[in-house]
Every structure is written in C-alpha cells, then in structure tokens.
Amino acid sequence: MSAPGFQHVETWIFDLDNTLYPASCRLFDQIDVRMGAFISDLFKVDKVEARRIQKDFFYKYGTTLRGLMIEHEIKPAAFLDYVHDIDHSPIPANGALAANLEALPGRKLVFTNGTVSHATNVMHRIGITHLFDGIFDIVHSDFIPKPERGPYEKFIATHTVDPGKAAMFEDIARNLSVPHDLGMTTVLVHDAANDDGNTMNSIAGDGEGAPHVHHKTSDLAGFLADIKFD
C-alpha cells in the first residue's frame, strides 16, 4: 500500500533518537544513566536523589540540561559531552533505510534535542550520514528543546524551509504539534519499546487520535519505501 500525501514535499525532517534507529537499541538508557551520574557528582548526592533532581528538571523545563542551566547556571558543553559519551555499537547498519532515504526527492535534515556529535555518531552507525544536508541540534536551538515553538521557527529560518512543503518524522507525538500548526506533514514513528514505562520513553505516546499526527508507522524504512511520487 502506498503512503499518500507526500507529492508536495521538498524537505524531509527527521528527529534522531528512537526515530532513525529503533528504541529497542536502548541508547537513551545509557544517556539517562550518565545524566544521573553527572548530577550525583555535581550535587554530591546519591543515585536516588540525583534521579529525582534529573526527572524534576526534565518535566519542569523539557530537558534536564535546561533545568541545570536555569537554576544552577551550569555550562552546557561539559554536560553534553559527558552524557553523550556512550557506546553506539547497539545501533545496527540499516541498508534498507539508507536506500529509501536516498530515493526521497529533496533535502534531508536532522532536527534533534541532542548534539551534532551524537547525531553524527548515530548516523555513521546506520550508514546514512552522506544522505543528509544538515543537522540542527540543541546548541543551534539555544538550548531550548522541542516541543517549544521557538526552536522550530529558528530551524525553519536557518535552513530556509517552507513548512507547507516539508514533512517531519518524530517518535514523540507532542513534538509534532508545532510542525502540524506550521503546515508540515507529520509522521509519528512509534516503537513498542517506547511503551515500557521508562520515564523518558513514556512521554512518547502512540499518537492515537491526535489531530496533529497525519501518519503513523512502526517501520520507518518500510514507510518510506511505500511513498509514491507518480
């Protein structure tokens, strides 16, 4: 079955983590542990208290980093370098995804709450780095995370994106609300591994019935293969 509604798309925008690779790779579990360790060392508290602080900042500010910056004036570089110093080997190469991305007409861009270096490592493992025209990360967005509207507007301005001719792929349903309002075609990449009760995964949601989710798939490579441009 073909995936309709993409004939107008000139810019293809992809979130990184749990979108371009499956959540079952558990990369964010590693990042989560390292965030806790960073906070534990910073505030000299045990793991339980560190986790409480971490999650409090996450829910209050959208990212743990933003909470640390606002409430404790933490410089972001050290935090970002530390938490993304992880083992990327669980991510497998994905030849099918690479081939189907290459077949898409127009530009491909990554828009992530992570960093360029983390995105580059991930994309290298998948085998898709050469297919993308740019990476817009948390540094480019002035450390303001999705789903805040500001980062989307800056992304659009930076990369001269026409929202009416763009499609955005995300694993977190709420992060598609602003793209929808801006006029983008939206696709939720839903992985059952995001439903495991993990605090960070639990916000993803399955997007069922959400008006800002135009399409939903659990197989990104297969979904892209089904897009027809005739």
pLDDT at 159: 98
C-beta of residue 11 within 8 angstroms of C-beta of residue 159: yes
Q: Is 197 exposed, middle or buried (0-12, 13-18, 19+ CB in 10 A)?
A: exposed
pLDDT at 62: 85
Per-residue pLDDT of the chain (230 residues; tens, 9 = 90+): 456 679 899 999 999 999 999 999 999 899 999 999 999 999 999 999 999 999 999 989 888 999 999 999 999 999 999 999 999 999 999 999 999 999 999 999 999 999 999 999 999 999 999 999 999 999 999 999 999 999 999 999 999 999 999 999 999 999 999 999 999 999 999 987 765 544 444 454 555 567 899 999 999 999 999 998 76
Q: What is the pLDDT of residues 39-74, one digit of tens each?
A: 999 999 999 999 999 999 998 988 899 999 999 999
pLDDT at residue 126, as a whole number: 98
User: What is the value of pTM for the model shown?
Assistant: 0.90
Backbone angles phi, psi at 3, to 5 degrees: -95, 110
Q: What confidence tens digit (pLDDT) does each residue in 89-118 have?
A: 999 999 999 999 999 999 999 999 999 999
Structural domains of the chain in order of their starting residue, each with its CATH number: 11-22+93-225 (3.40.50.1000), 28-83 (1.10.150.450)
pLDDT at 195: 58
3-state per-residue secondary structure call for 38-101: HHHHHHCCCHHHHHHHHHHHHHHHCCHHHHHHHHHCCCHHHHHHHHCCCCCCCCCCCHHHHHHH
pLDDT score of 194: 63
Contact partners, residue 57, CB within 8 Å, separation at least 6: 63, 64, 65, 66, 67, 68, 71
